[in-house]
Structure 1
Amino acid sequence: MTGPVLAVDQGTSGTKALVICPERGVIASASVPVSVRHGSAGAVEADPAALLGSVVEAGRRALREAGEPVRAVGLANQGETVLAWDPATGRPLTDAIVWQDRRSAGLCTGLADHEEELTRLTGLPLDPYFAAPKMAWIRRELTREGVVTTTDAWLVHQLTGAFVTDAATAGRTQLLDLDQVGWSPRALDIFGLGDERLPDIVDCDGTVGTTTAFGGELPLTGLLVDQQAALLAQNALDPGNAKCTYGTGAFLLAQTGPAPRRGTTGLVGCVAWRLGGRTAYCLDGQVYTAASAVDWLAGLGVISGAADLDPVGRTVPDSGGVTFVPALAGLAAPWWRGDLRGSVTGLGLGTTRGHLVRALCEGIAAQVVELTEAVATDLGAPLTSLRVDGGLTRSELLMQTQADLLQRPVEVSALPDATALGIGAVARLGLDPHLTVREAVPDWKPAAVYEPRIGADRAAERLAAFRTGVQTLLDHA
């Protein structure tokens, strides 16, 4: 066996670190919160020093708790969050522009004539969600100095001195040729980034350098974007396997195998991972606001936080005719309308906090149903079930609502922190080239399975109300 590894998941709202032993499972964990700042014109930023500090602190805390050495480190990242930095000193030249930032919307509008070509080249629709528009915006609006990359490249450089990104993270930029799994000169030219120095694209399971940030010298043997790491941890290794992670947003990924696929329904075609030189692909759909919509409701004083979803939502039997389209940061797949804003309709004098909570749960769940139906269309077969993970899966109300609207079983992972577990598996693969992917990934089993409790007609009726709400937003945009 390869021995314990340190798995670090640097996410939007915090960094989680696990010490994972092949025989004993998770033997230590630590988390450090990270703050993001929301500003005008759709600005969402984070302090790069805080991101790095959270990685180092979470890793050190987990190692102290474990009380035993590890053999390697793996690092998962946010995917589409970017910054400019000085490659000579490592000093950040800008704040980290978070994946939710919308300030490059005007730049995307200006490139609309190239959208079809970009989607064909990269698998991604033209949208500020992805890294390249934000990278180009930094170059136009903030600085021409240094390099501009996704945050993983900067974090890895800080830890090891290497200048690399993994194939899956590179696939989140809209600068990667999806077929060649290399930087696309044409896409770079379209975004005005043709002269940029970009990191080398590496396998997810290769040693990229060593770091002393966590104590002794350790090899960094695993790199992967967060949602793909969760897909791996959910044992979604065969075509058609799908998972949804309910975090700040909700992210549904479906494995499609060794051949790249372009979505025909508004889904994203991207690299799932490249392990041992072999690339696997997936289809990807996003809901921009899930836990962040819950936080918004808490900010209004309707609830105190996610722990209130079930007790407050259960005070009423249904949403009381309230429909909530929680497009608080726009609608992502399959609509790709970041300019839209959310709506709450059907309010009356009898509307209570419980009705609002249930309507929010239905709004999140309905968006995920739209993604599963898009996957079914692209794959030519419906999903048999949905594997889920993330903080919001603790809400029985949300998970039951998801099963009801989906009309399929929803299987909640028994393993919390799926992203960190996924990057831990990749780090083990980087340590031991004889290990197979199935051997490295933890055994998958559900902690709970939610079966639909309503009939198909009732589910269709609730989905129709949501779709009417979305169409109203589209008609009035």
Structure 2
Amino acid sequence: MVTVLAIDQGTSGTKAVVVDGGGRVLALAEEPVAPVYLDGGGVEVDPQVLLDTVLSTGRRAAAAAGVPLDAVALANQGETVLAWDRSDGRPLGPAVVWQDRRSEPVCAGRAEHAVEVARRTGLVLDPYFSAPKLRWLRDHVTRDGVVTTTDTWLVHRLCGAFVTDTSTASRSLLLGLDEVTWDPWLLDLFGLAGEPLPDLVASDAVVGTTTAFGPPLPVTGLVVDQQAALLAQGCVEPGTAKCTYGTGAFLLAQTGSAAVRSTAGLTTSVAWTLRGNTSYCVDGQVYTAASAVRWLTDLGLLDGAHALDATAAPDSEGVLCVPALAGLAAPFWAPAATASLTGMTLSTGRGHVVRAVVEGIAAQVAGLVDLVAADLGSPMARLRVDGGLTRSAALMQAQADLAQVPVDVYPSAHATPLGAAACARLALDPGLSVADAAGDWTPQRTYEPLWSADRAADLLGRWRDAASVAAGSGS
């Protein structure tokens, strides 16, 4: 049985788990990461903190498990980038986080090519993805070293390889989605044609060996965080879908070997390359989920995410929130949109505001459920969910009510590292299938819709109207 140290380097924290061959978590270590939010839409983080937390959580989890390890796997943020010196691994500036909007002019200057970009990549020409931020680094930070996503840098620091996996690369606006290769036309478009590019690898490729966590371990199981959670939740058949509620909320639906181009404003990415085959997924993004809850906490309206259920009123009493605190993603793609709270009166209390924010998050995800159904040609039967905010019964019930589908809560808080561990097991066990590596699971809890379809449609209609206003005001 293969035992894996799986590390999830995320936006707001780094988590390391030791997972045995049956998917059981033997040890856990976590450390926070604090991005800095700047005026003008900038979001940065110290790269050294990312590396330090990868090393410290990995070492603590390995020590706590007290068992021999067979591999180390790494899940990453996907679109966070940095410049660094390839000769010694030294960062040449801060890492620019996926939420950063300062590369909007890069996209605006290439707007005439948006349709061709979407055709080639499956993505939308938006600062959310990597290439605009890579161009911004070259224009505003440094022309030295290399510019890559953080996974390439972290892996280089662990074992010296210069690689990225296909799922992460598919979030860059530089990958030809059908060919799964770097696209020369896209590189030219962003002025990155002369840049050294990491080698593209499968998520079950062994890319090197590290002694960072003790005796030498193969480095494998490289995968972007949301796709890792998709695998952990067993979404390997076309039409199966999950939503992860973290800093943002991310809904992904498996499409199998077909790189389906969304007609509903979603994006298409590589889900993973495993066993020599590439699977795809459509996905929709909500930029602020847990970050909206943190905003409520910072304002003093909430004592923290743990207090959501105790604080949220049973009904919003007409208060409506569009929590576009970092812009709106699918299907609006309005990066400059701002949040709104409407419907307040002198009787409005903090519980109503908190309830409105909860319903605003759920409304965005419910909209994505409808868009996925439109792309796949059939309604979604149920939604699998994971992430810290799934501990809120208020949010999960609102999600079931507004999406009008049962919501199955994943029984572990560690879907992303478990997905990376599954990729690593595939690397080391040639007889294992992708479905077997993902494994079976029973929901910790299932939330059935309690609202009528008419009630859900009424709130969603009012919410979409408010979101359209927010999107228009940000254009």
What corresponds to 2:29 in structure 1? 30
What corresponds to 1:323 in structure 2? 320
Is the CA contact 1:45–1:95 (under 8 Å) kept in the aligned structure 2? yes
What corresponds to 1:178 in structure 2? 177
The answer for unaligned runs of 5 or more in structure 1 is: none
The yes-or-no answer on 1:345 pairing with 2:336 is no
The yes-or-no answer on 1:440 pairing with 2:443 is no
Listed one character per residue, the Cα deviations across residues 220-241 of structure 1 (whole Å, up to 9, x for unaligned) are 1210000000000000000000
C-alpha displacement at 1:259, in angstroms? 1.7
The answer for unaligned runs of 5 or more in structure 2 is: none
C-alpha displacement at 1:334, in angstroms? 1.0
C-alpha displacement at 1:185, in angstroms? 0.3
C-alpha displacement at 1:24, in angstroms? 6.8
What corresponds to 2:401 in structure 1? 404
343, 349, 364: which is aligned to 2:361?
364
Listed one character per residue, the Cα deviations across residues 47-72 of structure 1 (whole Å, up to 9, x for unaligned) are 11100000010111101110111100
What corresponds to 2:374 in structure 1? 377
Residue identity opposite 2:412 in structure 1: L
Instruction: Give the whole-Å Cα distance in 1 for the aligned partners of 2:314 and 2:234.
Output: 35
C-alpha displacement at 1:475, in angstroms? 4.1
Residue identity opposite 2:219 in structure 1: L
Instruction: Give the whole-Å Cα distance in 1 for the aligned partners of 2:388 and 2:473.
Output: 34
The yes-or-no answer on 1:461 pairing with 2:445 is no
Q: What are the within-5 Å matches in structure 2 for residues 60-459 of structure 1?
A: 60-313=59-312, 316-459=313-456
C-alpha displacement at 1:269, in angstroms? 0.7
Q: Under a length normalisation based on structure 1, what TM-score does the superposition of the two structures give?
A: 0.98
Is the CA contact 2:367–2:403 (under 8 Å) kept in the aligned structure 1? no
Instruction: Give the whole-Å Cα distance in 2 for the aligned partners of 1:430 and 1:421.
Output: 14
Listed one character per residue, the Cα deviations across residues 108-133 of structure 1 (whole Å, up to 9, x for unaligned) are 11110111111100111000000000
Residue identity opposite 2:452 in structure 1: G
Is the CA contact 1:319–1:358 (under 8 Å) kept in the aligned structure 2? yes
Listed one character per residue, the Cα deviations across residues 292-345 of structure 1 (whole Å, up to 9, x for unaligned) are 0000011000001111110011xx331010000000000001111011101000
Provide closer, same or farther for how the CA distance between residues 193 and 24 of structure 1 changes in structure 2, counting only shifts above 3 A.
Answer: closer
Give the 4+ runs in structure 1 shifted more than 6 A: none
SS for the counterpart of 2:222 is strand
Residue identity opposite 1:398 in structure 2: L
Listed one character per residue, the Cα deviations across residues 78-109 of structure 1 (whole Å, up to 9, x for unaligned) are 00000011111111112110000000011111
Is the CA contact 2:6–2:16 (under 8 Å) kept in the aligned structure 1? yes
What corresponds to 1:8 in structure 2? 7
SS for the counterpart of 1:261 is coil
Instruction: Give the whole-Å Cα distance in 2 for the aligned partners of 1:136 and 1:297.
Output: 34
C-alpha displacement at 1:438, in angstroms? 1.6
C-alpha displacement at 1:454, in angstroms? 1.1
SS for the counterpart of 2:444 is strand
What corresponds to 1:40 in structure 2? 39
Is the CA contact 2:228–2:420 (under 8 Å) kept in the aligned structure 1? yes
Is the CA contact 1:221–1:428 (under 8 Å) kept in the aligned structure 2? no
Residue identity opposite 1:418 in structure 2: A
Instruction: Give the whole-Å Cα distance in 1 for the aligned partners of 2:305 and 2:432.
Output: 39
Provide closer, same or farther for how the CA distance between residues 97 and 24 of structure 1 changes in structure 2, counting only shifts above 3 A.
Answer: closer
Provide closer, same or farther for how the CA distance between residues 460 and 30 of structure 1 changes in structure 2, counting only shifts above 3 A.
Answer: same
Residue identity opposite 1:142 in structure 2: V
Listed one character per residue, the Cα deviations across residues 183-242 of structure 1 (whole Å, up to 9, x for unaligned) are 000000000101110000001101100001111110012100000000000000000000
SS for the counterpart of 1:446 is coil
SS for the counterpart of 1:350 is coil
> How many residue pairs align between the two structures?
474
Residue identity opposite 1:95 in structure 2: P
SS for the counterpart of 2:306 is helix
Superposition RMSD in Å: 0.9
Residue identity opposite 1:40 in structure 2: D
Listed one character per residue, the Cα deviations across residues 337-390 of structure 1 (whole Å, up to 9, x for unaligned) are 011101000111100111011100110000001111110111100100000000
C-alpha displacement at 1:472, in angstroms? 2.1
Residue identity opposite 1:170 in structure 2: A
C-alpha displacement at 1:476, in angstroms? 3.5
SS for the counterpart of 1:32 is strand
Residue identity opposite 1:137 in structure 2: W
C-alpha displacement at 1:440, in angstroms? 1.3
SS for the counterpart of 2:59 is helix
Is the CA contact 1:386–1:408 (under 8 Å) kept in the aligned structure 2? yes
Moved more, 437-446 or 58-67: 437-446
C-alpha displacement at 1:442, in angstroms? 3.1
Instruction: Give the whole-Å Cα distance in 2 for the aligned partners of 1:300 and 1:33.
Output: 21
Is the CA contact 1:221–1:431 (under 8 Å) kept in the aligned structure 2? no
